[in-house]
Amino acid sequence: MTNGTAPDNALVLAAIEQVWGSMLFASADPWPADRPAEFGSGVQAQIELRGDWNGRLVLTCDRDVAAQIAGAMLGCGPEEVLPDLDVHDAVGEVLNVVGGSVKGALDGVSALGLPGVAPCTAPPAQGECMVVSWRDAPVYVQVVPDAAA
């Protein structure tokens, strides 16, 4: 099976900036490779793209960062603690909106899957992902093509 051209990093980053700016009231800046970051337990969201190009977008971040993202999206006060269900749902929707923007900019007709979100233990290895800032923390984003059959 051959796969079409993957969405390029600049496009994905531009979509992220748009979503950060309009839904999360934050700017998405590149995260310097040598800047240290904590990563305790994490949250990983994935969404599939099906069309000329087949693969998925993956967004990974620390659990606390995910909670902050959900809080910003929902306009929660600093004292409001969201249950995991809501944090996962919000992060999934953020990736869904990024995925839709990316899909719409690709050539040809593609379909978007539904986002899936699960806990994870480690961020992706450096060099395998783009890293953007969410306030003072990193968010890891990958464009993963389907393995060739």
Partner 1 sequence: MTISSSAFTFVRELVRAESAIVLEPGKEYLVESRLVPLARAAGHPDVDAYVAQLSTRRSPAALKQVVEALTTNETSWFRDTDPYTTLRETIFPELARNRPRKQLRVWAAACSSGQEPYSIVMTAMDTPALAGWRVDVTATDLSEEMLERGRRGEYSQLEVNRGLPATTLVRHFERQGLNWRINQSIRERVEFRHLNLTRPFPPMGQFDVVFLRNVLIYFDMPTKREVLQRVRQVLAPDGHLFLGAAEMTMGVDDAWERVPAGRSSVYRIREEQRTCVPW
Partner 2 sequence: MRALVVDDSRAMRRIVTRILEDAGFEVLEAGDGQEALDVLAAQETPPELACVDWNMPVMDGLTFINHVRKQPQWRATTLMMVTTESEQSQIVRALAAGAHEYLIKPFTGEAMLEKLDLLGLLPTPVGDQT
Instruction: Kindly list the residues in this chain that would bind partner 1 in the complex (CB under 8 A).
Output: 11, 14-15, 18, 21-22, 25-27, 101, 104-105, 135
Chain residues 33-92 in contact with partner 2, contact rule CB under 8 A:
70, 73-75, 85-86, 89-90, 92
Task: Indicate the residue among 100 and 124 with the shorter CB distance to partner 2.
Answer: 100
Task: Indicate the residue among 32 and 113 with the shorter CB distance to partner 2.
Answer: 113
Residue 18: phi and psi, rounded to 5, are: -65, -40
59 strand-pairing partners = 45, 141
Task: Indicate the residue among 102 and 117 with the shorter CB distance to partner 1.
Answer: 102
Residue 143: phi and psi, rounded to 5, are: -110, 110
Task: Indicate the residue among 39 and 92 with the shorter CB distance to partner 2.
Answer: 92
* Residue 92 touches which of partner 2, partner 1, none (Cβ within 5-8 Å per kind): partner 2
* Residue 26 touches which of partner 1, partner 2, none (Cβ within 5-8 Å per kind): partner 1
Query: b or e along 107-138 (b: 16 or more beta carbons within 10 Å of the residue's beta carbon)?
Result: eeebebeebebeebeebbeeeebbbbbbeebb
Cβ–Cβ contacts within 10 Å for residue 17, how many?
16
Footprint of partner 2 (CB under 8 A): 18-19, 22-23, 70, 73-75, 85-86, 89-90, 92-93, 96-97, 99-101, 103-104, 109, 112-114
